[in-house]
Structure 1
Amino acid sequence: MKQNGKIKDFLLWTVLAIVLGLIVSFAFLPLLGVDPVDSLKIMLTETFSDKFTMGNILIKTTPLILTSLAFAFTYKANLYNIGAQGQFYVGCICAVATTLALQTKLPGVVVLLLAFAASILGGGLTGLLIGFLKAKFNANEFLVSMMSTYVVQYVMQLLLRTALQEPKHEYLKTAYIDNSAWLPKIIPGTSVSLGIVIALAAAIFIWFILYHTSLGYRVRVTGLNQDAARMSGISPKKMCMTAFFISGAIAGLAGFTEINGMQHMLLTGFESDIGSYGIGIAIMASANPIGVIFAALLFGTLQVGGTALGHSTDAPASVIDVMLGFVMLFVLMSFFVRRKLEIRKLKHQKLQKGEA
């Protein structure tokens, strides 16, 4: 009962914070010369006007679920994987390289399975390297994971200029992958691919691992208290490397869903904010894998609605980031306020017991 009460309080505070964040963000629109009431109407009507546009919400949501899961998993171990963007790029590189190399030699289903495995392995090994540096040398995983993104970006730029560049060598992108290696579309009349199903399955799988397996228990115990975990026979260093490997693998999987499910090629500057959005979504969902699904869906909806607003008004493209930023700010403020109220409540209860 007590746990259910905490969940209800969390949901109530989070929904309230989201609503307030949206209200404040719309209140800022007049400063940009845009009417907030008209903007709201445009966002609601355009975002849900037809099946194709609504499908775009799911397309935006797919990689957001996976990159936020990547941050959430290490967060449960009291670790911070800020490099999901880089691991996402590694997944993209592995997926497109595997697909281009094998698409004329093997059946499409086999190529998809191999690209799926390559992206997971590539992202996982990238994460494992960060975890190893943390476990072996006590390197700051925040900084190492963040800087790893820049390293991967430069490697990707090099590959797009050399081994992976399209045949004519005119643009910094790869050739298009053959449609036999595309993830199948699952909703007629839209571009929604099987990637959304993979992302949802990944969220449920990570939730199951965290809360219904011994591995998840060890990860969470390590996050709560490393000394207690060590005395219980759990190796914090091993859990650090394991958590980062799984985290990187999830982010790498996002690369596969984007390359084989949506873009069908890799190019420079590709989805450059996917990692930072993932961090915000994970924080909004309190690192709960199921909560991540709904938080990512909200972000995806705001992205599609913000794009529609930019097309229909004079609002700049940055209006999307303003909205998402205000929502995140109010969610973080709600955590702080809720924590303060809980501390005050505990102090009041102690005083009452003392008087009794």
Structure 2
Amino acid sequence: MKKKEILCDFLLWILFAILLGLTISFSFLPLLSVNPFQALTVMFSETFSSTYNMGNILIKTAPLILTGLAFTFTYKANLYNIGAQGQFYSGCICASAVSLALGGKLPGPIVILLAGMAAILGGAVVGFIIGFLKAKFNANEFLISMMSTYVIQYVMQLLLRTSLQESKHEYLKTDYLDKSTWLPKIIPGTSVSLGIVISLLVAVLVWYVLYKTSLGFRIRATGLNQDAARMSGISPQHQYMLAFAISGAIAGLAGLVEINGMQHMLLTGFDTQIGSYGIGIAILANAHPLAVVPASLLFGFLQVGGTALGHSTDAPASVIDLLQGFVMLFVLMSFYFRRKAELNKLKKKRIVTEEA
């Protein structure tokens, strides 16, 4: 019963923070000459006006789930994977290269499977390097993972100027992938692909690994107290490398979901904030793998709704960042005030006990 009460209390704080964040962000719209009530109506009416538009929420949500899970996984080991963006791009590069090389030569499902394995491996290699540097030299994983994103971006641009560039050599993009390598659409009348199913399955798998396996126990034990973990026979250095490799693999898989499921080609400068959104989603979900799913849905809705708002009113495209920023700000504040309220409650209970 106590666990249910704690969960309900946590959800109420989060919901209140989200509503307050949205309310405050909408209150700024009059400064942009936008009626907030009209804006709210537009967001919901446009987003839910058709199956196609609602499907766009799931399209945005699928890769966000994976980048949110990527940050969550390392966070459980008290590590900060700020470079999910680079690992995502690494997965995009590998998925594109395999799909372009084998598309039309092998059956589509086999190519998709191989592209998925390549995307996972590409992200995992980048993650492992970060984890190795952390384990071997106690390097700051925050800085290394962040800087690795720029390295991967430059590698991607180099490849798009050379071996992966489209046939006419006019634009920084690849040719379109063969249709046989596209992830199958699963909802009629929309562009929603199998990617959303893959993302949901990975969320369940990450939850199972973290909370039901010895690997997950070792990672969480390292995150809680690495000295105690070391004394119990767990090597923190091994957990660093494992956590970052698995995190990178998850972010790399998002590359397959985006390239083979939606973009169908690799181009420069796309989805530049998907990694940072993943951090926000993980924070909103309190780093719980299953809670990442509804948090990603919220971010997907805000992206689609914000885009509709920008098209239908004079609001700039940055209104999306305004909405998400205020939501994150108030969620973080809710963690602080909830913790403070719990401490005050414990303090009062202790005083009553001592007086009795």
Whether TM exceeds 0.5 here: the answer is: yes
1:23-34 correspondence runs (5 A): 23-34=23-34
Residue 253 of structure 1 corresponds to which residue in structure 2?
Answer: 253
Residue 315 of structure 2 corresponds to which residue in structure 1?
Answer: 315
Residue 293 of structure 1 corresponds to which residue in structure 2?
Answer: 293
| Aligned-residue offset at 1:231 | 1.4
Distance 1:261 1:88 in 2: 14
| Aligned-residue offset at 1:148 | 0.4
Distance 2:334 2:91 in 1: 34
1:129-208 correspondence runs (5 A): 129-208=129-208
| Aligned-residue offset at 1:233 | 1.2
Quick check: 2:104–2:180 contact (8 Å CA) kept in 1?
no
SS at match of 2:291: helix
Number of residue-to-residue matches in the alignment: 356
1:106-145 correspondence runs (5 A): 106-145=106-145
SS at match of 2:298: helix
| Aligned-residue offset at 1:197 | 0.2
Structure 1: 5+ residue stretches without partners: none
Residue 48 of structure 1 corresponds to which residue in structure 2?
Answer: 48
SS at match of 1:239: helix
Structure 2: 5+ residue stretches without partners: none
| Aligned residue identity for 1:350 | R
Residue 213 of structure 1 corresponds to which residue in structure 2?
Answer: 213
Q: Percent identity?
A: 72
| Deviation readout 1:259-292 (Å, 9 max, x if unpaired) | 1010000101010000000000000000111100
| Deviation readout 1:135-164 (Å, 9 max, x if unpaired) | 000000001000000110111111111111
| Deviation readout 1:47-96 (Å, 9 max, x if unpaired) | 00000000000000001000000000000111000000000000000000
| Aligned residue identity for 1:137 | F
SS at match of 2:163: coil
| Aligned-residue offset at 1:220 | 0.8
Identify the range of structure 1 (104-113 vs 286-295) with the bigger mean alpha-carbon deviation: 104-113
Distance 1:9 1:144 in 2: 37
| Aligned-residue offset at 1:352 | 2.2
| Aligned-residue offset at 1:351 | 2.0
| Aligned-residue offset at 1:104 | 3.0
| Aligned-residue offset at 1:106 | 1.2
Distance 2:5 2:216 in 1: 23
| Aligned-residue offset at 1:105 | 2.1
| Deviation readout 1:302-349 (Å, 9 max, x if unpaired) | 110111111101100000100000000000000011111112222222
